[in-house]
Chains A and B, each alone.
Chain A
Amino acid sequence: MGEADISSQPVAAPAVELVGITKRFPGVVANRDIHLSVAKGQIHAIVGENGAGKSTLMKILYGMLRPDEGVISVDGTKVSFHSPADAIAAGIGMVHQHFMLADNLTVLENVILGSEPRKNGVAIDFAAARRKIREISDAYGLGVDPDVLVEDLGVGTRQRVEILKVLYRGARILILDEPTAVLVPHEVDELFENLKELVREGLTVIFISHHLDEVLKVADAITVIRRGTTVATVDPGSVTARRLAELMVGSELPSPETRESTVTDVVALSVRGLTVRSPDGRPVVDDVSFDVRKGEVLGIAGVEGNGQAELVEAIMGMRASTGAILLEGQDISHWPTLKRREAGVAFIPEDRHRHGLLLESPLWENRILGHQTKRPNVKGPWIDRAGARRDTQRIVEVYDVRTPGIEVDAAALSGGNQQKLIVGREMSGDPVFLIAAHPTRGVDVGAQAAIWDHLRRARAEGLAVLLISADLDELIGLSDTLKVILRGRLVADVDPASVTPEELGSAMTGAGEAA
């Protein structure tokens, strides 16, 4: 368990030091004997599975919660925070995952909101504020214009405004909670540049994430949290993503690799000449044809926004299309969504909150969603509450959905557990064909391994799977057949047994035809 090859031995007092932090909620311990030492001028990443206690720890550090035991020191001085205001006064700032900006105000107005500089005691001194924002923006290379409206800004810039807001209040230590979750790849790179600039100027960054690749790329030190306690602090130079993941889950990690082929020659789903047009008549899915056989996983690789979402929605009957879709030889292209589902098309949607869940409904009602006409959920026109509850209990047990019960709202579960519930639901009732769109997006590694296992098992039992993913390892590891989609067309077939993620990556961008 204890892996503690702390590489960086800070000479000065650490910017933040936590010793023996324990936080109990009635009956439980959320954080237990946490030890963390963040050196000044470093990017220190904190990684851990969903629910491992990262949030509790950050709330303690930011003064939102008070620890029951242990000592917090900032710059070598023992501190005790009663509220975030105390933390801010001590130079700690927090950039939340969800931005807290007013769209209809300018950057300047957003930044000074709540700590407006005063002129003559009453008027707001906009000139002074503008000057200070410009100074900060220039000093750290944030490139933020104080006078534009926030609604006109992209996600990456908004995040820089959030950072600026924290710096404006005098923070020397920044906590970033999952900052990359909302960013696209090039924005992530920009963010990392900004963070490096910040530490170059002597600031300290604490970075929470579960994207291990990113953490390895940007952090100077990484602390792993598992089940409420810090299990190791490692040097990113001497650890692999795989080793980190193993530290997070505390066991050897299963790989997505599928060993032997279970592909049969029975075609489950056949798509011929499928075309989807955008409202302006441009084809977003352009003359796509493929077959998925029973026991086969067909992977579709592609940079997001190349027609994957539209392809999925066309197959589900949620979007108008031309061309033929045949399920077990039967033309279903004019069927409504419900009939397709009844015929055995299962669907793990890309955005589970938007398409897959009723967040404010109990788990057992979520079990019914998408299966409103099937047993054990209904008897004729009546909802079979007992049957649905029983089967939800089964899914919770078989698919290891971590929940205190089936009566809690779906919103109360972590992303990984929500996804396991959806996977369990869609695997119920003997589906013929499954669309799995980004099935492990935004879930922790433990849930990811479990979901891969379930997909593999279903495939072995003869399920045909259309896998759409942005995770190249997942695509290569799970797929029997792999196709590349680019601007709505299937442009290449690649052999998942021999292709490398690098080759696949270049095929996706249209750089060259893969084998």
Chain B
Amino acid sequence: MPGSLSAAVKDIGDGARLAPLWWRLGMDQTKARFQRSILGPFWMAANLLVVSFALHFIVGGLLGGAGSNYPQLIGGLLAWGLVGISVGEAANLFLMNGGLMQTQRLPLTFYVFVHTQKAMTNFLAQLIAFWTVMLLMKNFSIPDWSFLPGLLIVTINVYLLSFILAIPSTRFRDVGYMSGFIVQMAFFLTPVFWTREQMRPARRFIVDYNPLAHMVELVRAPLLGQTPPLLDWLWGLGMIAVLGVIALILLAKFGKRVVFWL
């Protein structure tokens, strides 16, 4: 075990050192995604805008005009794109890069870096759309100082969660299908288009014990000019510790097997 543990640590270091490569590869893959489309990367922004308008319309209709707070909603969707959707897509992370993995030696963590880079690119594109809409609606608030540290904590969590999901789903393909609907379900369980206060007190545990809710809050609150409460930070940091250990164990135990699972 000590041998494979040090190999795992080395894998992480090697992956991080390849930053210029995964940065460019992630950009390339993002560009390739929108090749031959007219709107191109604007699709990432269009997605956020259309979904947020539609949800605002529906939720406002269901709960009355005050039921849906638009900045809260679009901020939530923006954060969810980073936290929920990109983790959901992580199941196919190694399968997508199978060709490369079978012809070139790269650290396993490298592919997770590529994935996280793509998630961040998507987030930044949507962030521009978010600010544009907020400016147009004269609802712009200057981000709180906590925006960057919050984003950093969430990004590390996204990285670790993606890693933890990607390894078993390469071996057991069912995990990939399962993660699709779990993410969909988690979307409803997380206060993205509703708020904790709207939930009946007896059921607020859905928010309080939902790690994804704390992740979303760490990104959303600073964007709306608020500092997230201490509890969110503790959840964010605690998750990094727990997920980090799990990811390290998975990497040490199964790292060299993954290429055979493709």
Do A and B associate with each other? no
Interface residues of B (CB under 8 A from A): none
Interface residues of A (CB under 8 A from B): none
